[in-house]
Chains A and B, each alone.
Chain A
Amino acid sequence: MDWSVVLPYILSGISVGGQYALIAIGYTMVYGILRLINFAHGDVFMVAGLMMIYFSASMPMYYSIPLMIIFTVLLGYAIERAAYKPLRTAPRMSIMISAIGVSYLLENLALYVTGGLNQNYPGIPWISDSITIGGAVTKRVTIITPILTIVLVVALILLLKHTKFGMAMRAVSRDFDTAQLMGIDIDRVISVTFIIGSFLAAIGSLLYFTNYTGVVPTSGAMPGLKAFVAAVFGGIGSIPGAVVGAFIIGICENLIKGLDSVLMVNGITSQQFGFATFSDAFTFVLLIVILILKPTGLFGEKQTDKV
């Protein structure tokens, strides 16, 4: 069995997994605090990509990148204020519908503005160059992504564990109502959560679209969904869990895509089975298996059910 055949797929998997991880953190943080699946997160990610395209068309790179990050953060904040805050007391389904509605609106706005045409993402110098690793050719951003992800995650965990505000965030995600009674400013905590999530989505979109340079209005839907699956897989509410889940999902997805090829190269099978058809579906198979075996995810905490 020639294992070096598997290396390019694992590399691809690590690369895409890192990008899913950045989006997954945004999902898991919001869910931990608000118990809301923020369907719009993937589309904020896509809008960040579009913003970068429009900004870099008229401004040099060192203006467009910070500007893009600022506007993405503003977008996330505005969505929270306009669409989620008024529904905080409404039944759970309403706020989820609101998230779906915002996602729908963002996609249609992007469709309207871009005309549905594929937009090419600008090449960011240095990180989009090609390099060779162990015989496999890939882009430099493939290596940068996991490193950057880990750095950001460590920074985030430090923030959560060692600052007063981080403690407030942990308190709110543990018990929403009691935290309010303890004098924590819920609005601020939620806003900061969305700001951090959007910031990570902006960085994530930078890395993702440098790697996969086409942006269409539906670019954010699948990565968003897979990132959410990764967050659930790793244990919703747990940031290290989301990152581990994202990497596992990224690697498995690419291994499935290459399964037929790997089996045939090693002479194990002689015909194609079309396993690549299930590369997306396999992500969900993984999820369902984990949910059945360990319902709270890999690193999730057991929620006690109060009667």
Chain B
Amino acid sequence: MKRNLKKYLSLGLAAVMAASLITGCGVATANGDTSATAATSSASTAASSDATATSTAASGDAAAATSTAATSGDTVKIGVYEPASGDNGAGGKQEMLGMQYANSKTPTVDIGGKTYNVELVFADNQSSTDKAVSAASTLVSSGVSVVLGSYGSGVSIAAQETFANAGIPAIGVTCTNPQVTEGNTNYFRICFLDPFQGTILANFAVDNFKAKTAYCLAKLGDDYSVGLCNYFQKAFEALGGTVVFETFPEGNSDFTSYITNAKNANADVIFSPVSTEAAALIIEQASSQGVTVPLMAGDTWDSNVITEAATGKNIDIYVTTFYQEGGNKDFDEGLKAYIDGDATALQNNGGNDMIAAVSAMGYDAYYVALEALKNAGSTDPKAVNDALWKTTYDGVSGHIEFDQTNGDAVRDTAYVKKANTETGTWDFVAEQKAK
């Protein structure tokens, strides 16, 4: 009797799971549209062999769900290749926020006379170059026409060949390392490059702080911070200064020794363009160690994580970035409303509605992609790739057009901002043009 009861219960469980699968698939096809990367038969079969209860139910019926902003009709898919976890997860989420906001504002596009729904397909590259290829492959196999991303030059470089082999163009949003677009014809970029940014920062340091010695602190193994420090070093030494360049290992929390090193070197400025979680620690420890010299960084520090860490502390922070809040009132208000209206968006933005420059760039990237699709006249990735070379767009971050050698945006302005330690916001300092 006991064994029979167990058998019946197990059979009942299996039957329920199977039933949910069938209905799930049924509902999906009835709607005529399947959700983003889901609802392939492989996903359902995997779901049935899944042992955990709620996730099985979720996955079985996830096939019944449809992704946001998709209704019946023709769809064009835009891949979003961003980190949602790992060191760059915070920045990646804020960049995606801009794209999601743009998608909610403009969910359709007219290509070759027909109206298409624009669907964002998302793949998380986990900020790690060894997960890059699989994340990129997921996008490729979803049939996207163009990819936006990534935040983080390393993962962009790592995925470039995968996109190239599939013939899919990619638009880098805030990846500033030159190697992303170098030597290939399928990666484009709408932001400025590190050599430019490094020069601007070096000039700013010398002009405003009369800096003779700079202490550069980069994260070991992170090509973005090491690369930018290299360019800063070149520019700073060209102006006659000396640079002490050190790296800290990943996962390091104790920066007090590095700050002591900076003091010993009599640094006039500390330059540390690292990702936000390390940056928050550096700021906090620098202030409690009584650092008096200014801290400088690149675009990764333009985030409310930094302003939160700096609030109430006696520290000067200067960053170069792509966009200054207040540059475009409609965009600012619209994005703030979008963030405040959605709990997940609010959490992804760090808990408040301060606009990160990467969100503005993500917003512009979406529209550049739409422009390219319109110019291409079709959703074929090759056509979009060819059309991108000639695409221009005036976005919230300025005029965007691509140079014909690498596909880099022709940019000559960077905004310098200072963290206001009392109000917890950014103060606009200067608009630096290339000399």
Contact = CB atoms under 8 A, between A and B. Distances in A.
Q: Are chains A and B touching in the complex at the 8 Å CB cutoff?
A: yes
Interface of A: 5, 8-9, 12, 15-16, 111, 115-118, 120, 130, 136-139, 208, 211-214, 216, 218-219, 221-223, 253-254, 257-258, 260-262, 264-265, 272, 274, 276-277, 279-280
Contact of B89 (A115, A211, A280): A115
Contacts of B278: 214
Given A274-B246, A274-B247, A116 B264 contact: no
Contacts of B309: 120, 213-214
Interface residues of B, number: 40
A229 B220 CA distance: 22
Given A118-B305, A257-B258, A264-B264, 4 more contacts: A117-B348, A130-B289, A254-B257, A258-B261
A212 to B, nearest CB: 4
Interface string B39-72: 0000000000000000000000000000000000
B253 A214 contact: yes
Nearest to B256: A12
B183 interface: no
Interface of B: 84-86, 89-90, 93, 220, 244-249, 251-254, 256-258, 260-261, 264-265, 276-278, 280-281, 284-285, 288-290, 305, 308-309, 347-348, 350
B305 A117 contact: yes
Contacts of B252: 222, 279-280
Contact of A260 (B86, B253, B261, B308): B261
A119 B285 CA distance: 16
B350 A277 contact: no
Contact of B246 (A5, A223, A272): A272
Nearest to B287: A130
Contact of B251 (A208, A221, A254): A221
A214 to B, nearest CB: 5
A212 B350 contact: no
Nearest to A132: B290
The dominant DSSP class at the B interface is helix
Contacts of B289: 130, 137-138
B257 A8 contact: yes
Contact of A276 (B248, B276, B305): B248
Given A257-B257, A260-B261, A222 B251 contact: yes
Contacts of B280: 118, 120, 213-214
A134 to B, nearest CB: 13
B85 A8 contact: no
Chain B CB within 10 Å — which of A216, A265, A279 has the most? A216
Contacts of A208: 253
A12 B254 contact: yes
Chain B CB within 10 Å — which of A5, A208, A214, A260 has the most? A214
B84 A116 contact: yes
Given A12-B257, A214-B253, A115 B348 contact: yes
Contacts of B84: 115-116
Contacts of A16: 254
Nearest to B344: A115
Contacts of A8: 256-257, 260
Given A212-B253, A216-B277, A261 B260 contact: yes
A265 B261 CA distance: 9
A65 to B, nearest CB: 20
Contacts of A116: 84-86, 89-90, 93
A212 B89 contact: no
27 contacts: A9-B257, A12-B254, A12-B260, A115-B89, A115-B93, A116-B84, A116-B86, A117-B90, A130-B289, A137-B288, A137-B290, A138-B288, A213-B309, A214-B277, A219-B251, A222-B251, A253-B254, A254-B257, A257-B258, A265-B264, A272-B244, A272-B246, A274-B246, A274-B247, A276-B248, A277-B247, A279-B252
